[in-house]
A and B are shown apart, each in its own frame.
Chain A
Amino acid sequence: MKEVIVCEGLTFSYNGYQALDGLSFTVRQGEVFALLGPNGAGKTTTIRVLNGLLHAQSGQSRVLGLDPALQGAQIRRRSGVLTETPALYERLSAWQNLRFFGSLAGMPAEKIGERGAYYLDLFELRDRADDRVETYSKGMKQRLALARALLHDPELLFLDEPTSGMDPAAARQVEGLIYRISKQENRSVILCTHRLYEAEKVCDRVAVMKTGSVIACGSLEELRARYASEIRIRLGFGELPPQEYLLKIRALEGVLEAREAADTCWELRLAAEKAIPMVIANLVSVGTPIYSAVPQQATLEDIYLRLQGAEAEEE
């Protein structure tokens, strides 16, 4: 599959603060790629460097086959960026904002009108399109900023917290839009988000960043295999078994962790599948009725927290 972003060993520092420290990853055509990491991990700096706003002090990168340091304007013409804050001209109307950014992107007036109307309709902003943006709610501003990023039909989208401030219905709509852009239109989306549930739903691959470098990268399955290969199982009971049974289960071979998860549930982390019948047999032997036994996979959040925690412990 064609690679639309390739970066290798990028470094960048802001007045002595090392924002990127040997950053390397690739993004393929048509995939949704998440950049995850705590504040200060370097996600925003990465977007700035890849769009030619900042010049990496070392390392190499290509975006859509172009060099960001030398061909930034060409990249920005073909990419759309939703910044962390909507960054809209609040004294102007939605239409004035779209006309301004569309014009700078080199779009003819009719095209701006046509595509602007489409996105204003899609994001349910058409009725308020002539009102000053300062009168909009946070979610409306976010939707307008997204319309601005999509207006010039970019081949590559950088979305920094795209559903921030949106209600669940609007957030779901955006997730659907991201899916459509990547899977139906074969365009790539780079998503920076703290909403790991959202990333898990829409992303093909993720890169977990910390202090300016990627500490893990791959699809969720790959990350699970690498960082969360143990089995998790949730046992449901009619009523919670006595505490001594929990201690007994913890002592079994292959049981890594056992804890009460809810009023009538236990959550177990096991080293291998073969521990499941052993646990169940043990509980049945002491007369504990088991209502359900549901295997559970590690979520992206589990993996993320483990990676960030593991790194912190190493430090």
Chain B
Amino acid sequence: MIKLQNIFTIAKKDWLEVRQNKYAWAPMLIVPAIFVIIIPLIFTFVIPALAVSPQDVLTSDADFQIFIDHMPLQLSRYIDFQNPMESMLVIILGIMFAPMFLIMPLMASTTIASESFAGERERKTMEALLYTPASDAELFLGKVTASAVPSIALTWLGFAIYTLILNLAPYAYIQRIWFPLPTWWPLIFWITPALVILGISLTVLISARVQNFLGAYQSSASVVLLVVALFAGQVSGMLYLSVGIEMLLGLLFWTAAALLTALAVRTFNREALLKG
């Protein structure tokens, strides 16, 4: 029978270790800070301060024009085109930027999982852990918990801060609570956990083949290409993240995460870890 106490003990130890490794946690804080705080503030305060018209921002780039022209009604109904500042913020920060937000859970989960799985091998502490009475399943779940909980928590916290900033900072221009748009709910609560599990299981599989944290992190971080593909698809007008599309994408990610997790569980047993 799986002991929750053991899972929590292992997760807590991994959190303590990550907290002591600034190379692991610093990027996890800096990148979200850029996405959640700096970019919204640039669009809200810097662009108007530079005397650039929001209308010009939207019409200066052909990609923006394609994006707006092909936007389905489900999304365009959130935009008040009579208010240029609101249009710019809703289009760029509310719709176009949405896939980029997914970098946060992916980055956090792959970083912590690399530290937790490959880092343990790198520092040659794995064997002492394997000599404990904890079962293979408890060790695996403990490490998954150590990676998943802070990754999801960080994303949700980032989302809360993003929500505050997007509503408060441009209040002078919009004068209403406009964010989150309905499309963000499935993004944060359906797709984010799926991507976190996907990132962790991929990292476990990669960690079985590499000997250090950096190698595992660099390889598993390539999963961020998924987000880049979503962003590119949306900017080029090929894919718009409406609620329906997001639910389907989430299902796809959950399926991939389940398959990869099943594979990861098979690689994470004492014999495979010692033979590898």
Q: A residues touching B (Cβ–Cβ < 8 Å)?
A: 14-15, 48, 51-55, 72-74, 76-77, 81, 83, 85, 87-92, 96, 100-101, 103-106, 132, 145, 148
Instruction: Give the chain B neighbours of A53 by CB distance below 8 A.
Output: 130-131, 270-271, 274
Q: Is B236 part of the contact surface with A, judged by Cβ < 8 Å? A: no
Closest to B276 in A: A15
Known pairs A52-B270, A76-B133. 16 more at Cβ < 8 A? A51-B131, A54-B270, A54-B271, A54-B275, A73-B135, A76-B132, A88-B125, A91-B16, A91-B21, A92-B13, A100-B9, A103-B5, A104-B132, A104-B134, A105-B133, A145-B128
Are B125 and A87 within 8 A (Cβ)?
yes
Q: Which 10 A-B pairs have the closest CB atoms?
A: A87-B128, A91-B20, A104-B132, A77-B133, A81-B131, A76-B133, A103-B9, A53-B270, A73-B133, A100-B13
**One of A14, A85, A92, A101 near B124 (C-beta < 8 A):** A85
Known: A55-B271, A92-B13. A104 touches B124 (CB 8 A): no
Q: Is B80 part of the contact surface with A, judged by Cβ < 8 Å? A: no
Closest to B131 in A: A81
Bound together, the chains give a CA A145 to CA B127 distance in angstroms of 12
Q: Is the interface of B mostly helix, strand, loop or mixed?
A: helix
Q: Is B211 part of the contact surface with A, judged by Cβ < 8 Å? A: no
Instruction: Give the chain B neighbours of A51 by CB distance below 8 A.
Output: 131
B25 to chain A, nearest CB (A): 12
A42 to chain B, nearest CB (A): 14
Instruction: Give the chain A neighbours of B10 by CB distance below 8 A.
Output: 104
Bound together, the chains give a CA A52 to CA B10 distance in angstroms of 20
Which residues 28-47 in B have Cβ within 8 Å of A in the complex? none
Which residues 115-153 in B have Cβ within 8 Å of A in the complex? 123-128, 130-135
A252 to chain B, nearest CB (A): 55
Instruction: Give the chain A neighbours of B127 by CB distance below 8 A.
Output: 83, 87
**One of B9, B16, B130, B133 near A92 (C-beta < 8 A):** B16
Closest to A77 in B: B133
Q: Is B246 part of the contact surface with A, judged by Cβ < 8 Å? A: no
Are A15 and B131 within 8 A (Cβ)?
no
Q: Is B6 part of the contact surface with A, judged by Cβ < 8 Å? A: yes
Bound together, the chains give a CA A201 to CA B130 distance in angstroms of 31
Bound together, the chains give a CA A55 to CA B16 distance in angstroms of 33
Bound together, the chains give a CA A238 to CA B240 distance in angstroms of 101
Closest to B8 in A: A103
6 contacts between A and B (CB under 8 A): A87-B124, A87-B127, A89-B17, A91-B20, A103-B6, A148-B128
Bound together, the chains give a CA A88 to CA B128 distance in angstroms of 8
Instruction: Give the chain B neighbours of A83 by CB distance below 8 A.
Output: 127-128, 131
Are A92 and B5 within 8 A (Cβ)?
no
Bound together, the chains give a CA A91 to CA B274 distance in angstroms of 23
Instruction: Give the chain B neighbours of A89 by CB distance below 8 A.
Output: 13, 17, 123, 125
B75 to chain A, nearest CB (A): 46
Bound together, the chains give a CA A20 to CA B5 distance in angstroms of 36
Are B274 and A48 within 8 A (Cβ)?
yes
Bound together, the chains give a CA A53 to CA B127 distance in angstroms of 9
Closest to A51 in B: B131
Bound together, the chains give a CA A83 to CA B128 distance in angstroms of 7
A129 to chain B, nearest CB (A): 16
Bound together, the chains give a CA A89 to CA B13 distance in angstroms of 9
Are A14 and B125 within 8 A (Cβ)?
no
Bound together, the chains give a CA A53 to CA B126 distance in angstroms of 12
Are A54 and B274 within 8 A (Cβ)?
yes
Instruction: Give the chain A neighbours of B131 by CB distance below 8 A.
Output: 51, 53, 76, 81, 83
